[in-house]
Amino acid sequence: MSPATDMAVTVGGVRLANPVLAASGTFGYGREYSPYLEPGAIGGLVTKGVSLQPRAGNPPPRIVETACGMLNAIGLANVGLDEFLAHKLPWLTEQPGAVVVNLYGESVGEFAELAQRLGAQPGVDALELNVSCPNVKEGGMAFGCHPGAVGEVTAAAVAGAQGKPVWVKLTPNVSDPAPMALAAAQAGAQAVSLINTLLAMAIDAGTRRPKLANVVGGLSGPAIKPVGLRMVWQVASALKAEHPTVDVVGLGGIMSGIDAAEYLIAGAKAVQVGTASFTDPAAAGRIAAELAAYCTEQGVSAAELSGSLRV
Amino acid sequence: MSLSLKAKVSSNEPVGPEIYLLSLEAPAIADAARPGQFVMLRVSPGPEPLLARPFSIHGADGGKLLILYQVKGKGTKLLTQACPGSELLTWGPLGRGFDLTAERPLLVAGGMGVAPIAFAIEYLCNKFDEVRLLCGVAGTVRHEALIKLFAGRLGSARVKIRYSSEDGSIGRKGLVTDLLKEHFSTSQPLKPDTVLACGPLPMLKAVALLCAEFEVACQTSLEAPMACGVGACLGCAIPAAGGGYLRACQEGPVMEASLVDWEKI
């Protein structure tokens, strides 16, 4: 094994210098974290979800800390597509690393339009469809809980994306995520990313009020890692049997390089670091370095580690 | 420029009941810090508690970053146990601080709100012969530490402090807004042109309304539950006067009172 372990991977049609991406909704539009990360420290980022129109988001309180985790009910607040294209994407395009744009529509037509306009951008490497947000009334998780709806949204986005790879971000709020992954794969997705947050709530016993204005929100952080690992393993196993060219991007509670390695072992080709960036703005870069150190120590490349679970 | 580093604890001493003064060796952050800005502090490196806490910057002195904090929950309780020599992950300085360009500023602090106000006073003392502070406390027992602190850190002859206390044990009995109203009514023609305020939300709301009534500009230092501190999580939403939301960590924590929807907040 050479000292320079090969960390590069190709996942969902995108070549990454290393398998660590920053997760959507936790990394803004990238620039927010530029003071804290060395350029090129991570394989790339997934942007905050972009919708056709700007969205103000939910009333506060929007976040609350829980045991080894946190809940959020942001409500997909974002600057909207026009502002994203004019003022967020140009900076991102100049940075090293892949740019995956997470997008969110309230209808199949909106997903198609977003995919078309974003797919036409040379600086965009892939699209990630958010069919799994638990915090919005229209669209969101409603699309992600039925294989038929996942397939329909995916097919519309793939048709609009002009050859740009389409990834589909899946919700854990189903009894079995594999049928959603298979539907996405069948409809032309090149990767699925999972898990989004777990629908949850927190209550203040003193006031008997919910701690979030939205009452319910999405649980993230180290508390959810075992759920994420289980679902990544289930989905990776199902895809391997039926759609072996479709990749899995794993996320949920990754706080260290070892956590990232566990997701790769479970079958993910790449990982996303989310809530960890809130707890340490340099977390994603640190995790990429720790993962490389682990691979060197184990004498495996990142690609070899993927799906190497011994069962 | 903001940055993240492991800051060594120089000292972390109680200065009163449930009130501590933390000094961190963080020259790069301290040198860049401006009054009204804040830092994120991770009180424990493990997963519990998971999130960093925002703290307003109380002072920056010879490469040391000063944080004045009150024990409120499990995070601040853990922070009291940080020993000199230990390291705390710290990032900052963050957010928009006070605009200190006013000609006749008046500072208004309620309780622990004095933490960032003290830093602003240090700046203003370099510019003016006289800096006026209206300070509301619960009373001499509850807030003896803060009062002593004013006498010490803000003991310059240039700082003119007027107190109000809820129990009447120091200064005028009542709320700091009573003092403010009196000040506005009696300080003509040298009425302040800008009020810089920090304190509990009901106080800030009352200060903002008074300032609007007397047509005085008002900057309020706000807080909100916050995860990242850098503008990414969108957790710290403050309802904006024109609809929508502002981020306490980016458009704040110091916001022009006229930009805030005080009914919805």
B91 touches chain A (CB under 8 A): yes
Q: A307, A236 in Cβ contact below 8 A? A: yes
pLDDT tens readout for residues B187-228 = 777 889 999 999 999 999 999 999 999 999 999 999 999 999
B52 touches chain A (CB under 8 A): yes
Q: B33, B93 in Cβ contact below 8 A? A: yes
B190 touches chain A (CB under 8 A): no
Neighbours of B157 (CB within 10 A): 8
Fold identical between B3-94 and B105-221? no
The question of whether A145 is a catalytic residue gets the answer no
pLDDT tens readout for residues B157-181 = 788 889 999 999 989 999 999 999 9
pLDDT at position A142, please?
A: 75
Segments forming the whole domain that contains residue A150: 9-58+73-199+220-305
pLDDT at position A136, please?
A: 64
Confidence of residue A288 (pLDDT cuts 50, 70, 90): very high
SS (H, E, C) chain A: CCCCCCCCEEECCEEECCCEEECCCCCCCCHHHCCCCCCCCCCEEECCCECCCCECCCCCCCEEEECCEEEECCCCCECCHHHHHHHHHHHHHCCCCEEEEEECCCCHHHHHHHHHHHHCCCCCCEEEEECCCCCCCCCCHHHHCCHHHHHHHHHHHHHHCCCCCEEEECCCCCCCCHHHHHHHHHCCCCEEEECCCEEEECEECCCCEECCCCCEEEEECHHHHHHHHHHHHHHHHHHHHHCCCCEEEEECCCCCHHHHHHHHHHCCCEEEECCHHHHCCCHHHHHHHHHHHHHHHHCCCHHHHCCCCCC
By Cβ distance, the residue of B3, B48, B225 closest to A63 is B225
pLDDT at position B145, please?
A: 73
Q: Which fold has domain B3-94?
A: Elongation Factor Tu (Ef-tu); domain 3 (2.40.30)
Whether CATH 3.20.20.80 fits B105-221:
no
Contact A279 B50 (CB under 8 A): yes
Is residue A43 pLDDT above 50, yes or no? Answer: yes
Is residue A2 pLDDT above 60, yes or no? Answer: no
How distant, in Å, are the alpha carbons of A217, A249, B145 from that of A146?
A: 20, 20, 60
Phi-psi region of B195 (alpha: psi -120 to 50; beta: other; left: phi over 0): beta
B248 touches chain A (CB under 8 A): no
Q: A89, A124 in Cβ contact below 8 A? A: yes
Instruction: Supply φ then ψ for residue B19, to 5 degrees.
Output: -120, 130
pLDDT tens readout for residues A191-243 = 999 999 999 999 999 999 999 999 999 999 999 999 999 999 999 999 999 99
Tokens representing residue A33 in the block: 């974290």
Identify the CATH number of the domain in which residue A231 sits.
3.20.20.70
B44 touches chain A (CB under 8 A): no
Is residue A310 pLDDT above 50, yes or no? Answer: yes
d(CA B179, CA B171): 10
Whether CATH 3.30.70.920 fits B223-265:
no
Tokens representing residue A132 in the block: 């799994």
pLDDT at position B153, please?
A: 66
Residue type, A94: E
Q: Is residue A310 part of a domain?
A: no
Q: Any idea where the domains of chain B sit in the sequence?
A: 3-94, 105-221, 223-265
Confidence of residue A186 (pLDDT cuts 50, 70, 90): very high
Q: Judging by DSSP bridges, how do beta strands B38-41 and B53-56 pair with one another?
A: antiparallel
Helices A257-266 and A225-242, axial angle in degrees (round to 10): 30
Q: Judging by DSSP bridges, how do beta strands A270-273 and A247-251 pair with one another?
A: parallel
Residue A88 Cα, gap to closest chain B Cα (Å): 13
d(CA A174, CA A36): 36
For chain A, give the mean pLDDT. 95
Contact A33 B224 (CB under 8 A): no
pLDDT tens readout for residues B102-160 = 999 999 999 999 999 999 998 999 899 999 999 999 887 777 777 777 666 666 778 88
Q: Is residue A280 part of a domain?
A: yes
d(CA A65, CA A72): 9
Q: B58, B122 in Cβ contact below 8 A? A: no
The number of residues in chain A equals 311
Contact A72 B225 (CB under 8 A): no
d(CA B139, CA B173): 9
pLDDT tens readout for residues B92-104 = 999 999 999 999 9
Instruction: Supply φ then ψ for residue B205, to 5 degrees.
Output: -60, -45
Q: Is residue A2 part of a domain?
A: no
How distant, in Å, are the alpha carbons of B7, B25, B38, B41, B57 from that of B84?
A: 11, 10, 21, 15, 19
Contacts of residue A64 in chain B, CB cutoff 8 Å? 225
Q: CB neighbours of B212 closer than 8 A, spacing ≥ 6?
A: B218, B257, B258
Confidence of residue A1 (pLDDT cuts 50, 70, 90): very low
How distant, in Å, are the alpha carbons of A138, A274, A292, B233 from that of A256?
A: 35, 11, 11, 20
Q: Into how many domains does chain A fold?
A: 1
Residue A236 Cα, gap to closest chain B Cα (Å): 28
The number of residues in chain B equals 265
Q: A282, B4 in Cβ contact below 8 A? A: yes
Contact B91 A36 (CB under 8 A): yes
Q: B195, B211 in Cβ contact below 8 A? A: yes
Is residue A3 pLDDT above 60, yes or no? Answer: no
pLDDT at position A116, please?
A: 98
Residue of B nearest to A33 (CA): B230
